[in-house]
Structure 1
Amino acid sequence: MGDDLSAVRAVLVPASPANAAFDYFIAHARAAAFQLIPRTSEVRAIELQWPDRKRNPFSIQTQARHLNFYLRRPILEAHHDLFDAAATRFGPIKPNKLGEYRTHIRSVADVDVMLEFLRQRGAWPNKPADRRFVAKTFDPVTKSHFLRSARHLAAGFDDHPFGQSTDYDLLFEGHRLPPKAVFGLAASEALGFPVRPENFSAGNGMVCFRRLRASGFQIVAKAEANGAMAGRSARYVATNENLINHALAPTMRWLIAAALDGATMTYGQVKQRLESEVGFSTVFATRIGLVAGELMNRIQAATPNAPLINTLVVNQQDRLPSKGAGSYMARRFGNPQLAAEGYKERHPAKWRAYFERAAAEVYAYSPEAWSALYAKVFGEALPNARISEERAKRHDGNEDDFGAGVGKYGTGGEGKYHKALRLWVTANPGKIRRAFANARTETEFCLDSGDRIDSVYHLDDRTVVLEVKSRISNEIDLRRGVYQCIKYRAVKAAMDVRQKVPVEAVLVTESEISGEIAGLLRQHGIQHCQVPRERE
């Protein structure tokens, strides 16, 4: 039967945590040089045999949704206190007729706990080489997995344990990536369990470089990478010192603009702007965590209770901040667990909830408050005109077609009645609804789609987008206004990371609306407010 494990694995529910735990355990057993002996006569199990003697110290028996893990007589005889230690750690049991200890394993995390328990007691091989998976383990990893991994890293994903490369870079679409991170993330996806830095080696002749190069990726020494990527003259080399000295102020301006737009920035976006606008040499997206953290440290040194603007730097994939934000949220919200390793992965819903609390505080800050905070942190003024300029930059490249950008009002520009109504609605939120009276208001608010909203009300518990139609609007104009409300509401909601803070839409008119328009508004949940033509 050899090393064929398929009959033993077949008992497990496919794609279940127990299935991943089985494959993960087998990878570690092979790394530690155990021989794998399948048993399929009465039960489905794998016995682990010491490589230098015909004795089997461990076995795992597969059930549908868990593994039965046995400490067998050879290991208990070699370590006389192991049974009692296991009973203390994993719970007491009555020994079977062979005197063996048994416990359940349901997940990869359970495997990690068991192996660490055994290593600490000298019952499992514990040299660095005993944690490196054999090359066969990585057979399921394909070029498609490598491509997805490289794209995630190039886009700014940094929530991984691999760190920066030391001697070699992988060149990918204008980015220099750590080869070990590309390989490790790809392997984790392909295998269905976490592959960590200690589980494989990188370097010429190693499985990591062999497989990546065989899939067509270029891996070069760092000196060669610098030459290959050189295409522009950099003002600053992306050292930690230069990032701290020259990246924090522009990053804060960009994040202020994102905050006032109710949006976020990805690691990749910050990286791209540092390179293209500030003049840094290639910045690994993983270094942006340093920039965000040092920026927040400097802000808190000036104003300890300042909003956590660093949390607006998010991963492209999940639109959430990485684990580095955990210590800041832990102090802010009095929950030390947020700073614990792996909290984001173990409690994704709680992580999002705390992030949304942090984002709500950031979004509630006014332009004037941000300007004052920036001046306090960096000792230089940040005028409202500069803030408006940074907000406009967020939308550079948007095509101003009809209904968007400066072309919103058509070739004739904005009419006097529309402008008067727009400015009045922005200045008088309490006249639209009493509940809106304390809103922070803005006019001609630019969305990430390039559209401009006539007026926006920012409140703690909601955001309100308002489209105005003046006294000269006809039925076609009003119908268009309804659909503009629908679009603006959807785009603004997509920009806001707070999932539980609703975006409402209001169509404001100076004239009565027809039954058809009223029905359309009801159908799509759009509010209507008719205001008098003669106003104070």
Structure 2
Amino acid sequence: MTGMENLWGNQLFQQRARLAFPILVRQALATTPLTYEDLAQELGMPNPRNLNFVLGCVGRSLQKLEEQWKERVPPLQSLVINKATRIPGEGIDWFIDDLKNYRRQSRKERESIIHAKLREVYAYQYWNEVLEALDLQPLTPVFAPLLAEASRRGGGEGEEHRRLKLFVAQHPEILNLTGKRGLTEVEHRLPSGDVIDVFFMRGKEVIGVEVKPSTADEADIVRGLYQCVKYKAVLQARQSVELQPQNARTFLVLGGALPEALVGLRNMLGISVIENVQSF
């Protein structure tokens, strides 16, 4: 059937599979899954649903490689997850041994099974050899200059930044927190001494938001992405000390659009970015 062919062919989904494969290897090395929407954006695909053919092609190519090598290769395509459920969508039977039993499990049990599969992907040490065997090139790191520039940046708060923080605090629906009540705080201080622009607590879940105005350049947005990484780690550490579940999330809210050059970095870091939020 369509999608069962391996990488090498002239069909559009095969061409896209050859582009997607190094991206998936990059995500495996970064130990970070990515959503169908994020991968589609990075591939320039208007419809994420068409990724089912692309990922099927990736899976078939891995099966062929297993036959040649006579050894197990983890399901790289399982790194692509549904944005809502946080587990892979269609095609899950490619990497679930007992599919009938899997479908009888609760959502929490299914998540546990998928996370185990993801750990296999992350722990696999031969992804570069897989690329070589498939005659594919690994992605070349391109973010070093921006990271260096971001590390030199500092700066104060402008009026748009201040307005945007207040707007996010007053509109939790931006983060899909509609209908959930709890604590909201602007400029929430962490034990590390850092200050999160906006902080929400909904039940026992905590959400930190870093805000960047429309005037932010690429280096400043890079700083925002890394601040989200840091804030999540500190929030989870605080939850651990307080004997709470470690379920912290962070978002980067932009007054403008995420530059195309930073889509890959966002995906590698696994940060949720909300773009083009206007405070007026």
Q: TM-score, normalised by structure 1?
A: 0.26
RCO higher in 1 or 2 (8 Å CA, sep ≥ 6)? 2
Structure label with greater radius of gyration: 1
Q: TM-score, normalised by structure 2?
A: 0.47
